[in-house]
Structure formats: structure tokens, C-alpha cells
Amino acid sequence: MIKSEIKSLVNLNELKMYVNGEWTDARERNTFSVINPSTGQVIAHVPNGGRYETQQAIEAAEQAFKSWSTLTANERAKYLLKLRDLMHEYKDQLAKIMSLEMGKPFTESQAEVIFAASYLEWFAEEGRRIYGETIPASASNKRLMVIRQPIGVVAAITPWNFPLAMMTRKIGPAMAAGCTGIVKPAKQSPISAIAFGKLVEMAGVPRGVVNVVTGKSGPISDEIFENPVVRKISFTGSTEVGKLLVTKSASQLKRLSLELGGHAPFIVFEDADLEAAAIGAVASKFRNTGQTCVSANRIYVQRSVIEKFSEIFVKKVKALKIGNSINPNVQVGPLVSHDSLEKVEEHVNDALTKGAHILCGGKRVEGELAGGLFYEPTVLAEVNTDMLITNEETFGPVAPIIPFDTEEEVIQRANHSEYGLAAYFYTQNISRSVRVSEALEFGIIGMNDSIPTVAQAPFGGMKESGVGREGGHQGLDEYLEDKYISMGIEIK
């Protein structure tokens, strides 16, 4: 049933890359397997492209740029809005693809499709507002102006955990600005990108404007970073890889946007609405099975309310339904890989050996789900700063609760990290809300809000969590060049 429904959008038995408006295999006809983490079964074989296929895609984008960049903003917006409509129309099929290939619970996958479409809508409209400016001249025979032009061919390297939303958050503003480009999806979730390529074709987007190349990161990345035609690269992934890409970009000074790792603090003050805080903590921590860069990784609770909060929180965590991600009633799915599962186990075991104790969960799921990569939603108490879990991003369904006493103390502890992507806090004190918002060294602050990300607001981090912003009008700026023109005129 699932495969037949998906087949109307993409054929899982004949998956191809989308290059220059055509569907193509890798030149050597090599493929790689996509594994369903809920079952451990192979669901598809995807073309394993490399430098040659990437070069073809870049050349196609370069040719398409000549005409795409000269379209009016309104003309480009029509294509983006058509893509948005198609994403809504094929919402369930796209969601099923996502659930099968990377294990996101089906209802969350449906929500991601709508979220992804919102970026296309936002940038379709924002592209109409690419304004230049005039500058007062210092001489009467001059006129000074600034115009804004698309940067050129771009590359979007997308992660597996939000395979559609991260794609549209990059390719949406690129298209709206007048850029063309190439999408390189993660090896765990390439089918979502191929399905998006199908929608690009259905929307009638001119050939070469959007190209999808699947395969191992090394050869594709090498061509992207060494090919001088590519002017800008947007990458979402780990801080470790991000640093390597900065080095690779140096020889040509390519413009980079990097959305990297996070280690988000979630602070619950004694004056907070504890019920609301617990609901927010569950939503942040266990969304996508804890596999988000803005997931609550360190839950700091003021000592006077820690017992009460823990009781409420644990009750809600125990109520979460874990199971095969394609089941619409499931709230917690599998981890994406064996490495991810082993990392979760390592963090929990390390915490236990250093004095933490388990309030719920704490082991792999057994029984009928034993064939998949499932770990129980887990809450740890008596967590301290010596543990791996308070210093490294877990990327899994484990919530450590850490006590604190004062506002000054928790701000210092929250900021004591090389990461600075997202932070959350719950309070009903307006003065405290201002102080804490200003003091936290993070690019995104959720104040009494555990899911603050929206298309119309900038998304990005401080410190080692990245460079640049996606979403909002700032996301469009990343794909534009400011050109200053000084015009000499004849004065009569």
C-alpha cells in the first residue's frame, strides 16, 4: 500500500538523479542502499553520483542562470508558489517517503512538508522586495546607487534529519534571488530530494535551475568546492564537517552559510508555569526522536521546583508512544543509524557511572521493535557537568535534568559551551525574561516557546554553531551581491 502510493510520485525501484531537466543514473550505474531504520530493511537503491555528475549539474545550472536571473521577481515567484502548492498536494506521499527513509514519525513528517512549503511561499513574496538604494552624492555631477544582483550558481548540502525543510530553506531563497543550483542530499534521506526534483519538474521550472545529485559526500563535495562556477554554498550538518568546509572554501573564497551543531539549554525558573514548561520540554527534546540541532540537550531546573517539574515531565515522557515511524499514532521513532544508537547508549552509560540515575527509559527497545534502531525515551536525574551528556550533543531521546540555584549561575552554565544555536527558558517574570534573553549567547531564543522556528524569522547560531542566517529577509541576503554604481552626469 505504501509503496504503491509513493510510486505515483517516485518509483522506488527506478530512482534517478535530476540533472538539467532529465532523469539520469550515475555514469558507472553505481548505487547505494537506503535502509528503513524502523525495520532494518532496504527500501531502495539510489544512484551513487560523483564528480562527473556534479560537474554536469553545475554546468546545467550555469547555463540556466543566464535566463533565470533575468526573469522578473513576479515570474520567479509563480514557480515557487506552484512548488508550494504541489508540496501541499503531495503532502502524505512526501511524508511517507521521509518516514520510511530516515525514521521520522509520520505525523511529524506531514508537519515538515507544510513547514518546508512555507519557505517557498515566504521567499516567493520576499523576492519581490529585493530593494536597492540611492545614496546622496558628494558632488553635483554624480549620482550614486546600489543594486542587488543574484550571486550566481549555488550549492545546497542538506542534512538527513529535516530533508525537505532544509532543502526549501536553502533553494527557496536562491531561486527567489535569481540563482540556480545543485542540491546534494544526505545519504540517509536522498529519496525526499529526488521527490522534490519530481515536483520541480511538475511545476515546469526551467531545466537546470534546480539539479539533484545523490551519492557519497566526498567526490560531490570536492567538485562543488573546487569548481569556480559555484559561487556560494549552504551547508547544514556537524560543526566538525563545517570547519573542514571552511578550509576547503578558502582557495576560492566562496561564500558560505553554515548551520552547524547545537547543545541547547532549556531553563525552567521557579516562577514558571511548570505544566507548560514540561509540555515544551517534551516537544523540544523528543521531536524527531531527539535528532534535531535545536533539541533541548541540557534541562536546567531551579532547585526549589525540580522535584515537581520532574514528576510532571516524567509522566508525559512515559506517555509517549514509540514504534514504527510509518504508524500515524507513533510519537517517537527509531534513531537513524547504528552509530547514533551507540552514541546514545554511550552518553547514558557514562552518566550512570558518574552518579546520574534513571527516572524512566534507559535502554534499547526490545520485543517486536528489536529489529529497528529504537531507544526508550529516557529521563536522567542528578546530572552534573562532568558527564558527556552535558558537554556533547546527544542527538537522541535522552533528557538530562540538572539543578541550579540562581539566575546568574544558570546563565553562566548555559553559555559555557562552544555552541550557540538555540536556547529556551520558561518564566512568568517580565524583567527576568528581558535579562535572560539578552544574556544568553545563542542565535535563537525560545521564551516560553519550545518551537520558535518559522519561515519569516532568521535561523542561525553564534560561536561554533554556524555562520549566516536562513529564513526571514536575512535568508535572502545570503544569495545576493550588493553592487555600487557611481554615475557621472553632465550638469547644465
**Active site residue ranges:** 259, 293
Half-sphere exposure (CA, 13 Å, Cβ side) for 155? 30
Sign for the pseudo-dihedral over CA of 52, 57, 63, 69? negative
The whole-angstrom separation of Cα 13 and Cα 322 is 29
Residues 246 and 258 sit within 8 Å (Cβ to Cβ): yes
Give Cβ neighbours of residue 75 (< 8 Å, ≥ 6 apart): none
Residues 451 and 284 sit within 8 Å (Cβ to Cβ): yes
- Candidates 163, 204, 250, 189; CA nearest to 37 is 189
**Cell numbers representing residue 319 in the block:** 506517555
Chain position carrying cell 573542514: 244
Beta strands 466-467 and 255-259, pairing class: antiparallel
Write out the DSSP string of 314-377: HHHHHT--B--TTSTT-SB---SSHHHHHHHHHHHHHHHHTT-EEEE--SB--GGGTTS--B--
Beta strands 210-212 and 180-184, pairing class: parallel
Q: By CB neighbour count within 10 A (0-12 exposed, 13-18 middle, 19+ buried), where does 346 fall?
A: middle
Half-sphere exposure (CA, 13 Å, Cβ side) for 423? 27
Give Cβ neighbours of residue 447 (< 8 Å, ≥ 6 apart): 424, 425, 426, 427, 433, 436, 437
The whole-angstrom separation of Cα 310 and Cα 329 is 25
Residues 264 and 390 sit within 8 Å (Cβ to Cβ): no
3-state class of 182 per DSSP?
strand
Element (H, E) at 169: helix 165-177
Q: Cα 301 to chain center, whole Å?
A: 28
